[in-house]
C-alpha cells in the first residue's frame, strides 16, 4: 500500500499494456461485480490468477462482504506483495480499496473505475469505506492505489440513469470550485450522455487539485462534501427502510437542499439557488420521503462524520457557483426547513 500521496488518475487507451508492468511477477486478484464481469472484463485481455465476483449494489458495501474478500485472499494464499485489481463502480472501488488497505496491514491495489461516478469521484482521492448500521462509509481508511486507470469506453455500457448519477458529482465539482465547468454544465440541455473527455478531465482535475491540497480532509477537502450531508442522510434513511437509492440521486437532492440553506442563511443569491434547483430538477428524479421522515432524516445529519459540535450540523456553504466555504454550521431547524421545502416543491 502506498503512503498518503494522492495518485493522479491516468487516461488509458490500452489497459492491458498499462497493467503489464504492474502485474509482472505478482499474484493478481481481480475483484469485480456481476455487471462489470459481463460488461467490462471482456474489454481486457489480461489474465488474472484469481477472479472474485460479488453481487452488484450498495447493499454489498459491508464488513461482511469485506470479510468474504479477505477469506478468499487467505484461501488463495495472497500476501501483501500481491495485487488486488478493482474493476467496477464506486462500490467496488470503496470496498476493494478498503479490503486491500487493511489486509495484512495493507496490500497494493489498482483501481479501474467503470462508472462515470467512479471515474470522476469515487476512485479518486484515497478514501475507502464500507457502510455500517446503514451509516454511509462509517468504517474506512485513507489509502492510495498503485494506479487509477480511466478507460472511457467502459462508459458505453452504462444506461442513461447511471450516466446521470455521475453527472451529479461533475456538477458538484463545478459548483464548489470551477465556475466555468458549472457554466458548461448549465448550458447542456440534459445530463444523460457520456461527457467529452475534456469535460471529464476538468471534473477529475477539481477533485485531484483539492485532494492534493488536503489529502486527509482537515481543511479544504471538506468542500467535496457539498450536497453530501443531506445526501448521505437520505441514503441512510432509505437503507434503514431496506431500500437503496443511487448515490448521485441522493447527492443531487442534497445539493438542492444545501443550496437552499446557503440562500436562506444569506450566503447564496436567490437567482443562483433558483438556477441550480432548476438544473437539478430538470435532470434528477426527485427523492421522496414522508413528512414524518423529515425529522429522522434531519437527525441522521447529526451522525455526519464531519460534525465537530453536536448542536450544529456541518455543511458546505455555497456562495456562488464556483465558490464555497467549508465548515458552515446549520441548526436542526434550518435542515428541517430545507427538507420541508424540498418535499413541498417536489410533491406530485
Ligand atoms: N470514496 C469516495 O471518495 C467516493 C466518492 C463518491 C462516491 N463514492 C461511493 O461510490 C458508490 C457509488 O458508485 P457507483 O454509482 O459507481 O455505484 P456502483 O458501483 O453500484 O455501480 C452502479 C451500477 O453500475 C454497474 N456497472 C458498473 N460499471 C458498469 C459498466 N461499465 N457497464 C454497465 N454496468 C456497470 C454496477 O454493477 C452497478 O450495478 C457509493 O457507495 C458511494 O458512497 C465514494
Which string of DSSP letters, residue by residue, matches 1-22? -B-S-----EE-S-HHHHHHHH
pLDDT surpassing 90 at residue 134 = no
CA of 42 to the centre of ligand 1 (A): 19
Mean predicted confidence (pLDDT) in 236-249: 91
Helix, strand, coil percent values for the chain (each to nearest 5): 50, 15, 30
The CATH code of the domain that includes 192 is 1.20.1090.10
Greatest Cα pair distance in the chain:
59
- What stretches of the chain adopt beta strand conformation (E)? 10-11, 28-33, 50-54, 83-88, 109-113, 130-132, 135-139, 147-150, 313-320, 323-330
CA distance 318 to 255: 10
CA of 254 to the centre of ligand 1 (A): 18
Please tell me the least confidently modeled range out of 33-42, 89-98, 138-147, 311-320.
Answer: 311-320
Q: Do residues 239 and 288 share a domain?
A: yes
C-alpha cell at 248: 448521485
For atom 39 of ligand 1, the residue with the nearest CA is 56
Whole-angstrom distance, CA of residue 87 vs CA of residue 78: 18
Gyration radius of the chain's alpha carbons: 20
The least confident of 99-108, 173-182, 289-298 is 289-298
Domain assignment of residue 127, given as a range:
10-157
| Residue 150 to residues 5, 30, 104, 249, 273, Cα–Cα distance (Å) | 19, 17, 28, 23, 33
Specify whether 144 is located in the same domain as 174: no
Helix (H) or strand (E) holding 74: helix 63-75
Is 1 within the bounds of a domain? no
- The ligand 1 atom at the shortest distance from the C-alpha of residue 137 is 43
In a domain, 2, yes or no: no
CA 92 / ligand 1 centre spacing (Å): 7
The residue among 39, 250, 60 whose CA lies nearest residue 154 is 39
Question: How many distinct helices (H) and strands (E) make up the chain?
Answer: 13, 10
* Stretch 142-170: mean pLDDT: 97
pLDDT, average across residues 183-188: 94
Q: How far apart, in whole angstroms, are the C-alpha atoms of residue 109 and residue 105?
A: 13
Same-domain status, 179 and 317:
yes
Closest ligand 1 atom number to CA of residue 35:
37
Ligand 1 probe mutation, 122, 132, 238, most atoms within 8 A of CB: 122
Residue where a domain stops, chosen among 129, 157, 185: 157
Domain annotation covers residue 272 = yes
| Angle between helical axes of 332-346 and 293-301 (0-180°, round to 10) | 130
Cell, residue 36:
462489470
Q: Nearest residue CA, atom 14 of ligand 1?
A: 90
Task: Count how many residues are written for the chain.
Answer: 348
My answer on whether 209 and 117 are in the same domain is: no
Check whether residue 119 and residue 141 sit in a common domain: yes
253 is written with which cell numbers?
A: 437532492
Domain count, the chain: 2
Judge if 197 and 303 occupy the same domain: yes
Last residue of a domain, one of 99, 129, 157: 157
Model pTM?
0.94
The CATH number given to whatever domain includes residue 150 is 3.40.50.1970
> Is 305's pLDDT higher than 80?
no
The answer to whether residue 268 sits within a structural domain is yes
Q: How far, in Å, is the centroid of ligand 1 from the Cα of 168? A: 13
* 171 and 289 together in one domain: yes
Tally of CB atoms within 10 A around 331: 13
User: In 3-state terms, what secondary structure has residue 311?
Assistant: coil
**Does 165 share its domain with 123?**
no
Domain boundary among 103, 136, 157: 157
**pLDDT tens-digit map of 258-273:** 999 999 999 999 999 9
Q: In this structure, are 244 and 324 located in the same domain?
A: yes
Let me know if residue 211 belongs to a domain: yes
Give the tens place of pLDDT for each residue, 51-92: 999 999 999 999 999 999 999 999 999 999 999 999 999 999
Same domain, residue pair 128 and 253:
no
Question: In this structure, is residue 5 part of a structural domain?
Answer: no
In testing the pocket of ligand 1, which one of 224, 247, 255 has its CB within 8 Å of the most ligand atoms? 247
| Nearest CA, atom 8, ligand 1 | 122
Ligand 1 atom nearest 118 alpha carbon: 16
In a domain, 4, yes or no: no
Do 218 and 257 share a domain, yes or no?
yes
Kindly give the number of the ligand 1 atom that is closest to the alpha carbon of 92: 19
Ligand 1 centre to CA of 240 (Å) is 20
pLDDT value for 4: 66
> What is the spatial distance between Cα 16 and Cα 47, in angstroms, rounded to a whole number?
9
137 and 228 in a single domain? The answer is no
**Mutation to probe ligand 1, out of 97, 115, 255 (largest number of atoms < 8 A from CB):** 115
Contacts 24+ apart (CB under 8 A), 132-138: 132/62, 132/63, 134/236, 134/239, 134/240, 135/236, 135/303, 136/232, 136/235, 136/236, 136/239, 137/94, 137/232, 137/305, 138/305
Amino acid at each position: 500500500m502506498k503512503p498518503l500521496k494522492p495518485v493522479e488518475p491516468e487516461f488509458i487507451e490500452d489497459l492491458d499494456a498499462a497493467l503489464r508492468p504492474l502485474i509482472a511477477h505478482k499474484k493478481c486478484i481481480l475483484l469485480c461485480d456481476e455487471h462489470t464481469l459481463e460488461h467490462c472484463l471482456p474489454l481486457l485481455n489480461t489474465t488474472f490468477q484469481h477472479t472474485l465476483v460479488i453481487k452488484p449494489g450498495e447493499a454489498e458495501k459491508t464488513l461482511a462482504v469485506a470479510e468474504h474478500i479477505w477469506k478468499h485472499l487467505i484461501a488463495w494464499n495472497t500476501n501483501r506483495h500481491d495485487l488486488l485489481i478493482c474493476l467496477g463502480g464506486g462500490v467496488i472501488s470503496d470496498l476493494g480499496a478498503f479490503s486491500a488497505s487493511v489486509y495484512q496491514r495493507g496490500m497494493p491495489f489498482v483501481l479501474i473505475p467503470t462508472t462515470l461516478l467512479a471515474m470522476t469521484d469515487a476512485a479518486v482521492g484515497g478514501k475507502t469505506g464500507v457502510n455500517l448500521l446503514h451509516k454511509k462509509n462509517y468504517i474506512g481508511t485513507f489509502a492510495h492505489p498503485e494506479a487509477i486507470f480511466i478507460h472511457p469506453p467502459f462508459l458505453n455500457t452504462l444506461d442513461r440513469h447511471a450516466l446521470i448519477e455521475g453527472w451529479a458529482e461533475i456538477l458538484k465539482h463545478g459548483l464548489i470550485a470551477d465556475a466555468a465547468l458549472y457554466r458548461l454544465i448549465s448550458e447542456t440541455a440534459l445530463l444523460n450522455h457520456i461527457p467529452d473527455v475534456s469535460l471529464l478531465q476538468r471534473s477529475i482535475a477539481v477533485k485531484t487539485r483539492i485532494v492534493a491540497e488536503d489529502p486527509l480532509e482537515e481543511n479544504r477537502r471538506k468542500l467535496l462534501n457539498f450536497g453530501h450531508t443531506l445526501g448521505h442522510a437520505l441514503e441512510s434513511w432509505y437503507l434503514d427502510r431496506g431500500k437503496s437509492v443511487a448515490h448521485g440521486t441522493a447527492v443531487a437532492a442534497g445539493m438542492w437542499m444545501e443550496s437552499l440553506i446557503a440562500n436562506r442563511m444569506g450566503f447564496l443569491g436567490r437567482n443562483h439557488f433558483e438556477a441550480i434547483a432548476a438544473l437539478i430538477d430538470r435532470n434528477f428524479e426527485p427523492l421522496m420521503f414522508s413528512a414524518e421522515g423529515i425529522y429522522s432524516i434531519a437527525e441522521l445529519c447529526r451522525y455526519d462524520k464531519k460534525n465537530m459540535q453536536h448542536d450544529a450540523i456541518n455543511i458546505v456553504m455555497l456562495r456562488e457557483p464556483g465558490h464555497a466555504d467549508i465548515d458552515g454550521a446549520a441548526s436542526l431547524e434550518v435542515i428541517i426547513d430545507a427538507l420541508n421545502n424540498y418535499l413541498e416543491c417536489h410533491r406530485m
